[in-house]
Amino acid sequence: MTKRKAKQQGMTLLEVMVALVIFSTAALALMNSVSLNVRFTHGLSETLQASWVAENVLAQAKLSQSDFPDADEQGTEIMGGRSWNWHKQRVKTASSGWANEVRVYAEGDESQPVVALQIIPPEEKVGK
């Protein structure tokens, strides 16, 4: 009587463990990529909404034909279901001219503006 070797069916424990390590490494890399993408998208959304607030402040000043104040003027606007604080004033530029500046801050965080726009009025450009 000769013993026959039975055909191996299935995977060994070592093969399963190696496959799990490869899969978990790939899954961690994918999760890291998704996390970075979500953070980037959130930051982009915040910057876009803040720039809309700044553009609205500029448009309102243009429509009312009012000059920007020399002292800091502040206000609040709601955009995207969120409250934004804006500051506008007339500031001196590096070239000894004047510019209208709008800074927009996220509510509760006045440490650094999300967006800051400086617009040189046409009458300032002509004077150069």
Region 27-45 average pLDDT: 91
CATH number at residue 117: 3.30.1300.30
Please indicate, yes or no, if residue 70 is contained in any of the structural domains. Answer: yes
The answer to the question of residue 104 being in a domain is yes
Residue 3 falls inside a structural domain: no
When divided into structural domains, the chain yields a total of 1
d(CA 76, CA 66): 18
Closest CA to 85 of 46, 113, 43, 47: 113
Residue 55 has pLDDT above 80, yes or no: yes
Q: What is the per-residue pLDDT across 90-113, written as a single tens digit (0 to 9) for each?
A: 988 888 788 899 999 998 888 899
Range of the domain at 108: 14-126
How does the average pLDDT of the chain come out, rounded? 87
Q: What is the residue whose two structure tokens read 């070239």?
A: 95
Q: Residue 83 — pLDDT band, cuts 50, 70, 90?
A: very high
Q: Does some domain include residue 8? A: no
Stretch 29-35: mean pLDDT, rounded? 94
pLDDT reported for residue 3: 65
Task: Inform me whether the pLDDT recorded for 127 exceeds 70.
Answer: no
